Structure 1
Amino acid sequence: MFNGSIVALITPMDDKGKICRISLKKLINYHIANGTTAIVSVGTTGESATLSHDEHISVVMMTLDLSNGRIPIIAGTGANSTAEGISLTKSFNNTGIAACLTVTPYYNRPTQDGLYQHFRAIANNTDLPQILYNVPLRTGCDMLPETIARLAEIKNIIGIKEASGNLSRFSQIQELVDNNFILLSGDDANALDSMRLGSKGVISVTANIAAHDMAQLCALAQQGNLPEARCLNQRLMPLHQMLFCEPNPIPVKWAAKQLGLIAQDTLRLPMTPLTNSGQIKITQAMIKAGLI
């Protein structure tokens, strides 16, 4: 279930900034048809930072409802407040959600023991499988392998989305945890290399607009077909990189609209529309990737 190409799903909105159920249904069907193995609903790519608590829960449950059991749904439940993280997580107990993805607390920069206590408290309030998420560039907080190993001893903490950009972290973590602990890349550009080092797949931004290609990339890597995987990855590399030419999810929402996957590329402030120069970069990357 937690392997291959897992999409960090964008949250589609109408021109007034309200959640667009029609576009959400279209996105879910697109991913099911193109081999995505699971959907992360309202992770950071899903603009969790600008959705209210009630909206956050509503979008996750809407995604679960529209998927109708056809694909596992992972709920984003990260917060920089432990109490809020517990509250969000408890909202999805006994709902059919497959797991929770919980990012490290942002801005307040807790110590390593603070991180341990934070994630342990959340895990102790649910039976849902918990996937940790480490992305220090965005949060200002880096969870070290030793802390991850401590957390891996908690029975319902089952894996990590590792997005530090440091490939050696995968080997370092593997040395400290048992074989059942799931490693997932959080960086499309190094997803293939991470799978060679033991990760089971990627929680992907690129998959929002190249679902089939990302599913195929992961399948080739799992089969050990590295020559074909490298060739596909090189074709996608400009896309992996340019989707972050401006803060995520600005570029990927614009690209999804160009492909007709969503009706509007609306974002909520302080996120602003993709600039003209960004549009040129994304268009060129989409051409190179064979999407247009």
Structure 2
Amino acid sequence: MMNFAGVYTALVTPFRNGEVDYEALKKLVELQIAGNVSGIVPVGTTGESPTLSPEEHLKVIETVVEVSAGRCQVIAGTGANSTQEAVYLTAEAKAIGADASLQVTPYYNKPTQEGLYRHFSTVADKVGLPIVLYNVPGRSGVPIAETTVARLAKNPVIRAVKEAAGSVDRVSTILDLCDITVLSGDDSLTLPMIAVGAKGIISVTSNIVPGEMSAMVKAALAGDFAKALEYHRKYYPFFRDQFIETNPIPIKAAMAMVGLMAEEYRLPLCELSPEHREKLAATMKRCGML
């Protein structure tokens, strides 16, 4: 049975001249593997999945699977607000060779808890690819209730939950109710979540400093919170400033500043404002990233 622990990078999707930059994508995958991450999560929120065509979506997953070549896990973002679409994307990801799928709470249509249970169960039962649930009510409009997570955890295909609701208490509540792996969805909450039982992080920051994030989480999971706290305090200003504008705008700007990729987005996302760019650059210098 697949286990989830450590750092999983919510990988950005690089663009150039309006197209996915697959050569840059390949280099980003190699950077992640060199940083000893446990896994890569392509085409999630940070990968701007809503603006990719279905063909691009699957080609990004395929590229990450091929380049990683079994050297780390690949958790493909294949969620949707249509259960039928989520089943299709997840089945395609399974055929491509992804190790698991990240299933976001259906957004905009605001299902009930019973609807959520049926949605995730249908994807699990029809495809059979290990699932990481993704609780992010700030984007989806609906939380996955802790009791719903517990119901879903009885399905052997549903192995983990990414918690991006900003609540450390939810980790304790979920682990009190059921046996499921919890991964933090917020870089700044990684250490407190691990302290109460989470096993790692699906990280935005690790796009740019994978080795440092891997070291922080490795130390925390080993119980060396003093060492982990050194990393947390060093990079906390950057954790914070990732949200001065909507993710992934700041992380893409930061990666462009250090030469990892072109800074390009797809509408409705657009470039970082001048005042926020100045603030982000100052934070990166403070953190030793520039």
Q: TM-score band (shorter)?
A: over 0.9
Are the equivalent residues in 1 in contact too, given 2:32–2:210 (CA < 8 A)? yes
For normalisation by structure 1, the TM-score amounts to 0.96
Matches of 1:8 and 1:62 in 2, distance apart?
15
Correspondence for 1:291 = 289
Name the SS for the 1:153 alignment partner. coil
Correspondence for 1:257 = 256
Are the equivalent residues in 2 in contact too, given 1:236–1:288 (CA < 8 A)? no
How much has 1:288 moved relative to structure 2?
A: 2.0
Query: Which residues in structure 2 correspond to 1:105-116 (within 5 Å)?
Result: 105-116=106-117
Name the SS for the 1:94 alignment partner. helix
Name the SS for the 1:110 alignment partner. coil
Matches of 1:270 and 1:231 in 2, distance apart?
37
Name the SS for the 1:131 alignment partner. strand
Query: Which residues in structure 2 correspond to 1:111-150 (within 5 Å)?
Result: 111-150=112-151
Q: Cα deviations across residues 159-178 of structure 1 (Å, max 9, x unaligned)?
A: 10011101100000001112
Matches of 2:67 and 2:18 in 1, distance apart?
20
Matches of 1:13 and 1:188 in 2, distance apart?
24
Matches of 2:63 and 2:158 in 1, distance apart?
25
Correspondence for 1:225 = 224
Name the SS for the 1:87 alignment partner. helix
Query: Which residues in structure 2 correspond to 1:63-142 (within 5 Å)?
Result: 63-142=64-143
RMSD between aligned alpha carbons? 1.0
Matches of 2:138 and 2:225 in 1, distance apart?
29
Q: Which runs of 5+ in 1 are unaligned?
A: none
Specify the code of the residue in structure 1 equivalent to 2:106.
P
Q: Which runs of 5+ in 2 are unaligned?
A: none
How much has 1:277 moved relative to structure 2?
A: 1.1
How much has 1:133 moved relative to structure 2?
A: 0.2
Specify the code of the residue in structure 2 equivalent to 1:208.
N
Matches of 2:84 and 2:240 in 1, distance apart?
35
Correspondence for 2:270 = 272
Name the SS for the 1:199 alignment partner. coil
What is the count of residue pairs matched by the alignment?
288
Matches of 2:14 and 2:242 in 1, distance apart?
17
Matches of 2:147 and 2:218 in 1, distance apart?
30
How much has 1:69 moved relative to structure 2?
A: 2.1
How much has 1:84 moved relative to structure 2?
A: 0.7
Name the SS for the 1:125 alignment partner. helix
Percent same amino acid among aligned pairs? 42
